[in-house]
Amino acid sequence: GAVVSQHPSWVICKSGTSVKIECRSLDFQATTMFWYRQFPKQSLMLMATSNEGSKATYEQGVEKDKFLINHASLTLSTLTVTSAHPEDSSFYICSAREALTGLYGYTFGSGTRLTVV
Amino acid sequence: SQKIEQNSEALNIQEGKTATLTCNYTNYSPAYLQWYRQDPGRGPVFLLLIRENEKEKRKERLKVTFDTTLKQSLFHITASQPADSATYLCAPLYSSASKIIFGSGTRLSIRP
């Protein structure tokens, strides 16, 4: 089945630094990828939709200059948290939709636990 | 704006019983409704999808119903097992190209 690999699985960084998270579709091409954030005991909140070769679409309230998304190829999207602060500490999850099988479920990565100290 | 509500934050069920989880939506009906399972510290895993024109869909011990009149989907796990303990999320899709907006989730615990 479709597999999405997310890296790193966890990262600790100092306040003010930037962190990049990668999301790769391993065995299929994903024209669209999605980035979510999840705080403890809460559901996933969609941050942005990443489209290959074009600008990402951000949800209301998400700062596009803080959360930079690049979808440079059909198998890779990256999320960069710029000038991270402790309130950015969260669980970040990506998902990808294969063009022909999107109706059969979207595939999610295993998530990245970001801790900003 | 569209709201998706799952009946309860947590549900505790005795092993062997049927667990029933509810997903309600407001306003317009989605074309599809997906259910996912999420374990702690992991990404969601797709379980089932039901279309607007389908009343019921089954997969092994899982059953999903979709009632557009009530604006509700029910997710059933029969013969529940402790391994079924997880958070279950419903996610309506308004087209095949939609982004997924998740419901609040229901944390299901199956006690032996």
Cross-chain Cβ contact A91/B105 below 8 Å = no
**B18: closest CA among B73, B77, B58, B61?**
B77
A16 touches chain B (CB under 8 A): no
Chain B residues within an 8 Å CB radius of A32: 97
Cross-chain Cβ contact B44/A93 below 8 Å = yes
Task: Please give the span between the terminal C-alpha atoms of chain B, in angstroms, as a whole number.
Answer: 41
Read off the DSSP letter of residue B84: G
pLDDT reported for residue B1:
64
Quick: pLDDT tens for B58-102.
999 999 999 989 999 999 999 999 999 999 999 988 876 678 889
Q: What percent of chain A has pLDDT over 90?
A: 70
Cross-chain Cβ contact A106/B105 below 8 Å = no
**Rg over CA atoms, chain B:** 13
Quick: pLDDT tens for A55-86.
899 999 999 999 999 988 889 999 999 999 99
Least CB–CB distance from B99: residue in A34, A42, A105 = A34
The pair of structure tokens assigned to A111 is 């998530």
Cross-chain Cβ contact A111/B42 below 8 Å = yes
The DSSP bridge partners found for residue A70 are A78
Q: What percent of chain B has pLDDT over 70?
A: 96
Least CB–CB distance from B46: residue in A105, A109, A111 = A105
Cross-chain Cβ contact B89/A49 below 8 Å = no
User: Strands A112-116 and A10-13, how do they pair?
Assistant: parallel
Read off the DSSP letter of residue B82: G
Q: Give the position of tokens 């801790």.
A: A115
The pair of structure tokens assigned to A90 is 């969260």
Q: How many CB atoms lie within 10 A of CB B109?
A: 14
DSSP, residue by residue, A31-68: EEEEEEEE-TTS--EEEEEEETTS--EEPTT--TTTEE
Closest approach of chain B CAs to the CA of A102, in angstroms?
7
Nearest-angstrom CA–CA distance, A84 and B106:
31
Nearest-angstrom CA–CA distance, B23 and B101:
13
